[in-house]
Amino acid sequence: MDERTRLEGRRIGPGLRVDVGSVKAVRSIGWAPQSMSGRLYRPCVGVALVNRAGDAFIGHRKRKRGSEVLDPRSWQMPQGGIDAGEQPLEAAKRELWEETNVSSTELIAELPVWLKYDLPEDARGRWSGRYRGQTQKWFLFRFIGSEKEIDVHHPAGGAHDAEFDDWRWERLERSPELVVPFKREVYEAVAAAFAPLARPTAS
């Protein structure tokens, strides 16, 4: 794959331009996004994991509490916060391991821009109210292992609490339809940028 994958830029949603022509192929970009100034948005990563058929992993969020009522669209791709001193690529691999038990991957690309979303008002008590939402650096990985490696019930070899109670492979283009509404614009941008790169590979 060329270092710089050339694709057509497109506009996704009101006011959000995603130039998929600038998607970087297998090269990490340093992390110090200006959008995190003032600590309004929690820095985190998102992972689009695709199999050899080009389909993406999506997990169904597990209830945090027995009384929690989940939105019917409570599917999402792996994501999580960046630890102090951690680079985004390192965080992406760690979060993938901690949420899916997967470590057999190849990096395809990363989105050069950071994407952010606001939490609904009734959810802003998370993280002690320090953040209004999250800003995310997204990575596209190819899964090269056996599906036996995937274990959302006992991820990280059983060392991490489960984030998902179910999972499946899905077309990346369909992912915006399956997530909660406040994440939809981010998923539209991710799908627009990564779907052309998530081509099936030879077995």
Q: What is the pLDDT of residue 69?
A: 56
The pLDDT of residue 4 is above 80: no
User: What DSSP line would sit under 97-129, residue for residue?
Assistant: HHHH----EEEEEE-SS-EEEEPPGGGTTGGGG
What pLDDT, in 10s, does the model give residues 169-190? 999 999 999 999 999 999 999 9
- CA–CA separation, 69 vs 123, rounded Å? 13
- CA–CA separation, 68 vs 132, rounded Å? 21
Phi, psi of 49 (to 5 degrees): -105, 115
What pLDDT, in 10s, does the model give residues 20-56? 444 554 433 334 343 444 558 999 999 999 999 999 9
127 pLDDT band, cuts 50/70/90, is: low
List of domains in the chain: 10-26+39-63+73-197 (3.90.79.10)
72 pLDDT band, cuts 50/70/90, is: confident
Q: What is the Cα gyration radius of the chain?
A: 16
17 pLDDT band, cuts 50/70/90, is: very low
Q: Dihedral sign for Cα 95, 100, 106, 112, please.
A: negative
Tell me the sheet residues that pair with 105: 143
**Mean pLDDT within 126-155:** 92
pTM (two decimals): 0.80
Average pLDDT, the chain: 81
